[in-house]
Amino acid sequence: MENQICKVIKNKNLSKNYYLLEFENNFKKRFYPGNFVHIKIENLFLRRPFSVAHYSKNKIQIIYKVIGIGTEKLSRKNKGDYLDIIGPLGNSFPFYKNKRICIIGGGTGIAPLIFLAKELKKYNEEIYFFYGARNKNLIFFQILPTGINYIFSTDDGSFGKRGNIFDVFKKFNSFDVIYAAGPEGLLKKLTSSIKKIPVYISVENYMACGMGLCYGCVIKVKENDKWEYKRVCKDGPVFEGKEILWE
């Protein structure tokens, strides 16, 4: 990974407290879907991790929700400001070619899935993207790649099907592989109900180093008939669903 100073290109409010931040890509290393960046926020001791939602030679995008002091400060960054960033960090989603693919997520969890969908599209014709949100305003149409089959659901029924995206997803079947990110409840339901095909999930946690050094961000992972704590930042953030022992 590298430590780079990157110039903010834009920091746009998407809806309510959701933002899209775009910065110049000064990284020499390539990013893959699932990788994250660790961003320094002025006057805060720890960096904040964000999954990459878009990656190109010139620019990188992240999507975040203002939930605390770190993201609040980040939301005040303007075009031309500089950010101290470490990346690319973490592992990435395994790639499949010529498969029937399901991508499912909600909230800011869709960030790595957008990057993933763009890459998978190059090698797969059948991609179904299940996108859940509380209401229509929290579906970010403007950043969704084209050429993919979208299935939406909202809690209030203001767009797509009414209800939870998992319940909508259940009515579909015969996928070869599932990729997911977002609320823990969704990930738990997916990993506990789907046993026959691989389910790859990107998980979140508080992090200190982000580089596999401090063992602060661990999650329980099965090892043969036992378990051990694995680092979300280094061994993850992408895990195969059946490996996880949810607490």
Partner 1 sequence: MGMKKLKIKLGKIELNSPIILASGIFGYGNEKIDFIDYKKIGAITTKTITYTPWKGNPQLRIYETDCGMINSIGLQNPGIFYFVKNILHKIRKKWPKIFVSITGRNEKEFIDIIKILNREKVDAIELNLSCPNFEKKQRMISQDPDLTYRIIKIVRNETSLPLIAKISPNVNDIKEIAIASEKAGADILSLINTVKGLRIDFKKMKIIDGGLSGPSIKPIGLKCVYDVYRVVKIPIIGIGGITRGIDAIEYFLVGASAVGIGSGLFTNANIIEEIYKFLNQYLGKRNLKNIIGLLNEKESNP
Q: Does 215 bind partner 1 (CB under 8 A)?
A: yes
Applying CB under 8 A, which of residues 145, 163, 198, 212 lies at the interface with partner 1? 212
Applying CB under 8 A, which of residues 81, 125, 141, 213 lies at the interface with partner 1? 213
Number of H helices, E strands in the chain: 4, 15
Stretch that binds partner 1, among 38-46, 104-112, 166-174, 182-190 (CB under 8 A): 38-46
Applying CB under 8 A, which of residues 2, 126, 156, 184 lies at the interface with partner 1? 2
CB-nearer residue toward partner 1: 198 or 216: 216
Q: Which two structure tokens, joined as six digits, stand for 79?
A: 């075009």
CA distances from 127 to 99, 148, 194 (A): 8, 6, 18
Pairing type for strands 149-154 and 161-162 reads: parallel
CB-nearer residue toward partner 1: 123 or 206: 206
Residues in the chain: 247
Q: Does 184 bind partner 1 (CB under 8 A)?
A: no
Q: What is the SS3 assignment for 26?
A: coil
Q: Does 229 bind partner 1 (CB under 8 A)?
A: yes
Distance CA 183, CA 159 (A): 19
Distance CA 191, CA 181 (A): 11
Q: How far is the CB of 209 from partner 1 (least distance, A)?
A: 5
Q: Does 3 bind partner 1 (CB under 8 A)?
A: yes
Distance CA 127, CA 95 (A): 13
Q: Which two structure tokens, joined as six digits, stand for 176?
A: 């070869």
Q: How far is the CB of 217 from partner 1 (least distance, A)?
A: 7
Q: What is the SS3 assignment for 41?
A: coil
Stretch that binds partner 1, among 74-82, 98-106, 113-121, 206-214 (CB under 8 A): 206-214
Q: Which two structure tokens, joined as six digits, stand for 235?
A: 């061994």
Q: Does 225 bind partner 1 (CB under 8 A)?
A: no
User: Which residues of the shown chain bind partner 1 in the complex (CB under 8 A)?
Assistant: 1-3, 40, 44-47, 84, 86, 205-219, 228-229, 234, 247
